[in-house]
């Protein structure tokens, strides 16, 4: 089964470099919806704090794919916000 994965920045709670991201995941075996993930984007490192639900399934899911989706959502949010300021 194809993995369904969605990450969305919670705009009203997120301010660079600290973000809150809602993550939903379904691979047919493991499923969770709208789990909040805390992300701190402080160079040279990004720190991601997962919810207890995600931590519980960390060894059964593709955590790298989740991290990529989270970072993609943050970059899109940053690009969208910077465009509105111009």
Cβ 30 vs Cβ 60: under 8 Å: yes
> Mind listing the pLDDT tens digit for each residue in 4-30?
999 999 999 998 899 999 999 999 999
pLDDT at 26: 96
Q: How many CB atoms neighbour CB 80 within 10 A? A: 11
pLDDT tens for 38-82 read 999 888 899 999 999 999 999 999 999 999 999 999 999 989 865
Q: What's the pLDDT at 44?
A: 87
Is there a contact between 69 and 5 (Cβ–Cβ < 8 Å)?
Answer: yes
Task: Provide the 8-state DSSP code for 2.
Answer: P
Domain residue ranges of the chain, discontinuous segments joined by +: 4-85
């Amino acid at each position: 089964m194809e993995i369904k994965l969605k990450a969305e920045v919670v705009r009203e709670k997120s301010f660079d470099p600290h973000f809150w991201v809602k993550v939903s995941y379904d691979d047919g075996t493991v499923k969770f919806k709208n789990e909040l993930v805390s992300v701190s984007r402080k160079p040279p490192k990004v720190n991601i704090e997962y919810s207890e639900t995600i931590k519980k399934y960390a060894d059964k899911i593709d955590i790298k794919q989740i991290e990529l989706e989270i970072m993609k959502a943050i970059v899109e949010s940053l690009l969208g916000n910077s465009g509105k300021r111009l």
